[in-house]
Amino acid sequence: MKRNLLLISNSTNAGEEYLGWPRPYIANFLKKFSVRSVLFVPYAGVNLSGEGISQSYDIYEERVKSVFAGFGVELMSVHSSDNPRQAVKKAECIVVGGGNTFHLVKMMHETGIMNPIRDQVRLGIPYVGWSAGSNVACPTMKTTNDMPIAEPSSFKCLDLIPFQINPHYLDANPQGHAGETREQRILEFLVVNRDVRVVGLREACLFWIEGNTIELKGSRKLRVFDYGQPAREYGEGEAIDFLLKE
């Protein structure tokens, strides 16, 4: 499969500017594929304005546009297009922002851009996503951490990789919280979905994927979960191409 993906766990570390830590990786990714313009998908951003969803999309577009301008790259949001599917087909690069995955998937299905994005990226069009934008690159959205504030017509997503990502992966719950850990939630998922692999992608980490090659980049290890097996961890520089095997 032709695919060029940058899948980022989180946009911003505490105390940093927006898209601060992944900015060098994004810049290098865009430069490698000679990207001059991107189509942005803002549908995960639902509460940025305090007024309404449409205003939130506008704010999100401007926020991300200001970062990409620093790369010398133009950005247009798909919510501003009269024909979203045609905008996807003409896009030089697709960028999907984080936020609420349920709302993002709902809108991607309703606007009809899920399948066109899949088709374009499988042809080699570069794709950048963070948080919810990384979730939707998976076969489904079932390993999101988000509250179901909206009901998508389907949990099926782009299916650009054969495994599920759990972004913002945490090793333990906050002190004093007696609920399930993230690992326990993933193990619950695996009981019901035994043939699906889940990768916990910790913050300040990302996947750089080209074709059948995948690299972990960042300051922390990832955590791989398969049903009936102990979790395994891999760090930057270790061979993880097995993750892309169907």
- List, by residue number, the catalytic residues: 131, 146, 168
Q: Which domains, ranges and CATH numbers included, belong to the chain?
A: 4-161+203-217+239-244 (3.40.50.880)
CA separation for the pair 146, 20 (Å, rounded): 23
The pLDDT profile of the chain, 246 residues, written as one tens digit per residue, is 899 999 999 999 999 999 999 999 999 999 999 999 999 999 999 987 667 788 999 999 999 999 999 999 999 999 999 999 999 999 999 999 999 999 999 999 999 999 999 999 999 999 999 999 999 999 999 999 999 999 999 999 999 999 999 999 998 777 777 778 999 999 999 999 999 999 999 999 999 999 999 999 999 999 999 999 999 999 999 999 999 998
Q: CB–CB of 239/159 below 8 Å?
A: no
pTM above 0.75, yes or no: yes
